[in-house]
Amino acid sequence: MTARADTTTWSTGLPVLKGDLLFHDDARRSVATDLGNVVRREPQAVLRPRSPGDVAAMITFCRERGITVAARGQAHTTNGQALTDGLVIECRSLDEINFTGPYTVEVGSGVLWKDLAAAAFERTPRLTPPVLTGYTGLTVGGTLSMGGVGGIVGGLRTGLQVDHVRELEVVTGTGSVERCSPEHGSDLFKAVLGGLGQCGVITKAVLALVPAKERARTYALDYTSNPAFFRDLRTAIARPGIDHVYAEVYPPGAPATHRLLATVLYDPSHAPDDRSVTEGLSGETTVEDSTYLDYVFSIDLLIDELRATAGWDRLLKPWYDVWIPGESIEEYLAEIHPSLTSEDLGPYGAVLIYPQRRDLVGGPYPRLPEPDGSDWAFVLDINTVAETVDTDRRFFDRMLDRNGGLFARARGEYGAVLYPIGSVRFTAEDWREHFGQAWPAFRRAKACFDPDGILAPGPGIFDGS
Ligand SMILES: Cc1cc2nc3c(=O)[nH]c(=O)nc-3n(C[C@H](O)[C@H](O)[C@H](O)COP(=O)(O)OP(=O)(O)OC[C@H]3O[C@@H](n4cnc5c(N)ncnc54)[C@H](O)[C@@H]3O)c2cc1C
């Protein structure tokens, strides 16, 4: 099913488009890599669509000529997931936000979550997406294609971002524009959410919104012991008054090796009682209080600063991201923590843990670990960032070897599953294992919605099929 990238000329048969189709070097080079900065694939052309019709017309054109197509959001994946040497569709130009009901919004797939969060908060009553990623400068289409873990909002009492989608508009690999939902076209709907762009390009999404609280109070608790940290983590995620929890882990020898961040969202008329929020938690605590949006954009501020001062976009980022079963996270972290060095993080990196309540995750994708009796699964990220923009490429290779070793052990020993936003070398056989019992259905969906295998070649899921 792999498409041949042939050398067919682009000079005949091009459709009339509302948006732009660009062939010049600047446009092609600007989308030739991603946030990881290692995989490089220069496309032959770049589409900046202005309508689903543009996407459909160009997919039809490419399909007839065996040209591969990759949708691109912000390309904040790190191993070439959004790259192709065929046609790149830059979805950012699909940027409309329309509030269609009291608690629903229809957005173009190129809308950034931060723009949606800001627009929703301005509504009366104030609204918010129920799940927001830690960094919100990511596109709706990009995170819905991966899963969308609640890095700053959601996770304890919500599913993933894909679990809060009401309807999608998708252009399939046959060039057909489809509306799909759990009720109509559910095969396509399921295959596209968390489906790594394999079965269609999302052009619009109808998303659920929920009432937003005005403020956020975050309790940061520091630890030097793995068991004490996990005791408190498990208490915090089960505590009804706490709305969000994530954790940072630092290499051994740091003054604090684990930090728990627990946040309560509230309206000023119901300010949290600090003592009951932290009751029984042993870590040394600092409290930070802010408006809801300042809280939501707190990671964005850090990244913006690194963009301005450290050349963030050009630094190598060999990221390792896995789902660990709920019962195993403590043992797994205890195993890998002693081996973490300052090189594993670099001056701008982070090791992060995100809890996700399992019963609120509904779809077949993204893949989660097999149930282990725990109510929880955890995403663990080692977000390694190189020190300077001149860092040797061998650093990336070394880190890819590290990621491969870590993942083989995590999968073999703990039943971990890749969260495929980062940089782990994966063969077609690895992908088959990754999808597990869902593989036949995923393969069938690919054959149905992208029969010529032109979409999203980056991860190599169907290589050799
Ligand atoms: C600082 C930082 C913090 C992050 N925090 C979180 C977090 O809290 N939770 C989390 O889940 N992730 C997080 N991520 C990872 C992020 O979710 C993924 O990298 C996500 O894919 C990025 O969105 P994007 O717009 O850059 O997508 P891209 O990287 O552009 O695309 C991702 C994949 O989806 C495909 N795709 C893109 N748009 C479409 C579309 N419209 N239709 C079909 N396929 C499409 C691409 O071809 C590619 O395969 C973080 C990343 C960074 C850099």
CATH number at residue 157: 3.30.465.10
Q: Is the pLDDT of residue 411 over 60?
A: yes
Ligand 1 centroid from CA 383, angstroms: 14
pLDDT higher than threshold 60 for residue 252: yes
Domain identity same for 146 and 207:
yes
Same domain, 237 and 356: yes
pTM reported for the whole predicted model: 0.97
Does the pLDDT at position 317 exceed 70? yes
Atom of ligand 1 nearest to the CA of 354: 8
Residues 147 and 239 in one domain: no
Q: Is the pLDDT reported for residue 284 higher than 90? A: no
- 407: CATH: 3.40.462.10
- Per-residue pLDDT at 342 exceeds 90: no
Distance 77 CA to ligand 1 centre (A): 6
Give the count of alpha carbons within 13 A of 126, CB side only: 13
Res. 465: pLDDT tops 70: yes
Domain boundary among 211, 228, 262: 211
Q: Which domain holds residue 353?
A: 215-418
Residue 55 covered by a domain: no
Mark which of 193, 211, 229 sits at the end of a domain.
211
Where do we find the tokens 């915090």?
A: 236
Report residue 365's pLDDT band, with 50, 70 and 90 as the boundaries: very high
Q: Residues 229, 193: one domain?
A: no
**Considering its fold, how many domains does the chain have in total?**
2
Strands 69-72 and 87-90: parallel
Ligand 1 pocket test, candidate residues 79, 145, 149, 356, most atoms within 8 A of CB: 145
- CB 458 less than 6 A from any atom of ligand 1: yes
At which of 180, 211, 242 does a domain end?
211
Least-confidence region, from 155-169, 335-349, 417-431: 335-349
Long-range contacts: 61-65, Cβ < 8 Å, 24+?
61/13, 61/14, 61/15, 62/86, 62/87, 62/454, 63/173, 63/174, 63/175, 63/452, 63/454, 64/13, 65/6, 65/8
Residue 16 forms part of a structural domain: no
Residues 282 and 298 both lie in one domain: yes
Mean pLDDT of 362-385: 97
Tell whether the model's pLDDT for residue 9 goes beyond 90: no
Query: 205 and 224, same structural domain?
Result: no
Ligand 1 pocket test: pick from 69, 74, 109, 146 the residue with the most ligand atoms within 8 Å of its Cβ. Answer: 146
Please compute, for residue 200, the number of CA atoms within 13 A of its CA located in the half-sphere on the CB side.
31
Q: What letter would DSSP give residue 305?
A: H
